[in-house]
Amino acid sequence: MTTRGKIVIGALLAVLLYFGINKLVASGSFFKPAETQSVLLSSIELPAATGGTRTNLAVPLAPLPGTAPAEKGTALTWEVMAWNSQMAAMLANGGPRTTQGSALAANGLDVQINRQDDVAKMQADLVKNALDLQSNPQAPGLVVSIMGDGLPAFSSVQAQLAKAGTGLAVIPYSVGKSFGEDKLMGPKAWLDNPKAALGKTIACYLRDGDQNIALKWCADNGLKVNPDETTYDPQAVNFMAAADFLAAAEKYIVGKPESRAQVINGRNTGTRVDVVADAVATWTPGDVNIAKQKGGLVNIVSTKDYSNQMPNIMVTTKRWYDAHPQQVLGLITALAVAGDQVKSHPEALARAADISAQVYGDQDKPGAYWLKYYKGTSEADQTGEVVELGGSKAFNFSDNLALFGLDNGGTNIYAAVYKTFGDVQKKLYPKELPTYVPLDEMLDLGPLRKLQAQYQGKAVAPAETPKFAADDEISRRVSQRVWDIEFNTGQSTFTPAAQRQLSQLFDDLVVAGRLKVAVHGYTDNVGAPAQNLRLSETRAQAVAQWLAQQSASAFPTGRVQVYAHGAAEPVAPNATEAGRAQNRRVEIVLGN
């Protein structure tokens, strides 16, 4: 074929690819002394993913809900952030208030959905509702939806609820998750060189899901983080506090500097510097605002990569939860029915998007806007850089069985997420979060198990699961980190001290369930090269086998790849024992 012919064919393919993708996505003055040193976090990994293939079992299109209020059933208020993960809930309700013909009306509930982006206000409202129910058990209950990885910090409200004679209860069902919508946006240079983020500042709402994305990326790439948002550490990644996710984006767009005391190794240097937001952790429409109003940032990492990090978790009070077992079952049933509809039928999804627009109340954002960014899209920003925006997924019943580990002995993905980020936030912010409530004190899987038993033997739409090809190499690296996994001398068996690192690695990789895992084994230079190469391979293989033995669902065939390097690529001189110890290592690379 001639060069001209190749060019023509290449151009035609590019045009077809461009229009094909677009059709798919369119179908929306004294300085404060430093109190803490910057921290090098242990790697933060997330549970293995639910979210890849589309439902392949036909679910018939049900009649769409009406628009007239049902005005009957158990009254319940539901506070939600403006977040596309709630599409199934919107369809289930039929409108801001439950409508005739909706799934929630059919299950005996009358729900008023209100937008509430302020997490602190959600906490205060739960306490007030607990007191209202204490004086009047017939008062409407309150459910709030939050980012699942932010629940450990949210659980700090437990002390106030205890004074009201109750506590937190998690509804054992998730309506969906963020799948790209929540993200860390930063300079493009960070993609190739994560260390370029050192000395830079990320704007975000602290101690919640979006900051967790940034923290995990820092941990996975061995970057120190400065937990004090009032100081500046040139040797760490710094954070700038924002009132909410939209305010975080605004801090970058406006570019207003903050004067901070400079610290190094936790000590005040006596100098002050002006810092601006170099990057942002936010979600839609924060990412859209950045792209359209200023640009200059790309997606560094998102919940499409950390695909199990951010399920939508519903929280209420134990007082309401314990007094309304039938309503809890009805809520779960209605959401499961609506989840299948949203996942299977464009008509149902479009209706859910229109309802979302009514609930969120932004006059410039109709249903088509929320639909577009639910699906996720790629658009050119103000600088001409193409960036990915939006991205969420609805859950059905089977997705929830997978999320909570009830699918044939699977892994409780959410438990791993909760502990992973609870430990991180507790380590970084011991004053604000000295402890967090154990998940099993809030989460009762009994209702979900009851429905699972009722559906036993019946056709149920399957969960979405990621697919991995064993021979596919990682082409886009998200992170690379050395793990201190100890082996017995000259062997591929683990020492007792290795178990703690392996357990943490397991939780970490469960969270990042959509990413492939490459395990690279290395040795020092003691011994014959061929022997060292074999040893590095068997050690890397031992790690891969250990992970698969813990959970076949989290580590399906093809997800983990093993590479042997022997004594090649030393990270320290082999002339000393300390150097040789550093070279005997396992590196974990995540990517796709």
Helix (H, G, I), strand (E, B) or coil at 194: helix
168, part of any domain: yes
**18 in any annotated domain:** no
Domain that holds residue 484: 477-591
Instruction: Answer whether residue 57 is part of any domain.
Output: no
Q: For position 493, which CATH number holds?
A: 3.30.1330.60
Distance CA 576, CA 423 (A): 35
- What CATH code is carried by the domain that includes residue 247? 3.40.190
- Looking at 269, 302, 335, the residue that finishes a domain is 302
Give the model's pLDDT for residue 455: 83
d(CA 231, CA 529): 49
Shared-domain flag, residues 291 and 361: no
Q: Is residue 209 part of a domain?
A: yes
Cβ neighbors of 577 (< 8 A, separation 6 or more) are none
Residues 169 and 250 in one domain: no
Whether residues 354 and 448 share a domain: the answer is: yes
The C-alpha atoms of residue 478 and residue 220 are separated, in whole angstroms, by 8
d(CA 352, CA 338): 9
The verdict on 338 and 221 lying in the same domain is no
In this prediction, residue 33 carries a pLDDT of 37
**Total count of domains within the chain:** 3
Give the pLDDT confidence score for residue 592 in this predicted structure: 86
Q: Which of 273, 302, 331 is at the close of a domain?
A: 302
pLDDT of residue 462: 85
pTM exceeds 0.75 for this model: yes
413-428 and 498-511 helices cross at what angle (nearest 10)?
110
Q: Is residue 398 part of a domain?
A: yes
Phi-psi region of 295 (alpha: psi -120 to 50; beta: other; left: phi over 0): left
- The answer on 201 and 158 residing in a single domain is no
Strands across the sheet with 74-80, in order?
109-115, 74-80, 141-147, 312-317, 168-170
Rounded-to-integer distance, Cα 562 and Cα 478, Å: 17
Q: What is the pLDDT of residue 106?
A: 97
Q: 538 and 516 in one domain?
A: yes
Same domain, 579 and 494: yes
Residues 495, 584, single domain; the answer is: yes
Tell me which residue has tokens 């924002």: 242
Statement to judge: residues 198 and 133 lie in one domain = no
> Is the dihedral angle over the CA atoms 278, 284, 285, 291 positive or is it negative?
positive
Query: Which sign, positive or negative, has the C-alpha torsion 134, 135, 141, 145?
Result: negative
Bridge-based pairing state of the strands 586-591 and 516-521: antiparallel
Is 379 contained in some domain?
A: no
pLDDT value of residue 464: 85
68 in a structural domain: no
Examine the domain organization and report whether 189 and 91 are in the same domain: no
Q: Would residue 387 count as lying in a domain? A: no
Domain end among 261, 280, 302: 302
Is residue 258 within 8 A of residue 274, CB to CB? The reply is yes
Q: Report the CATH number at residue 402.
A: 3.40.190.10
SS3 531: helix
Per-residue pLDDT of the chain (592 residues; tens, 9 = 90+): 444 444 444 444 443 433 343 433 333 332 333 444 665 454 443 444 444 444 445 689 999 999 999 999 999 999 999 999 999 999 999 999 999 999 999 999 999 999 999 999 999 999 999 999 999 999 999 999 999 999 999 999 999 999 999 999 999 999 999 999 999 999 999 999 999 999 999 999 998 889 999 999 999 899 999 999 999 999 999 999 999 999 999 999 999 999 999 999 989 999 999 999 999 999 999 999 999 999 999 999 999 999 999 999 999 999 999 999 999 999 999 999 999 999 999 999 999 999 999 999 999 999 999 999 999 999 999 999 999 999 999 999 999 999 999 987 788 999 999 999 999 999 899 988 999 999 999 999 999 999 999 888 777 788 888 888 878 888 888 888 889 898 888 889 998 888 889 998 999 899 998 899 999 999 999 999 999 999 999 999 999 999 999 888 889 889 999 999 999 999 999 999 989 988 999 999 999 8
Same domain, 330 and 447: yes
| Cα distances (angstroms) measured from residue 575 to each of 409, 517, 580 | 48, 31, 7
Q: Tell me: do 512 and 561 sit in the same domain.
A: yes
Q: What is residue 45's predicted lDDT score, i.e. its pLDDT?
A: 38
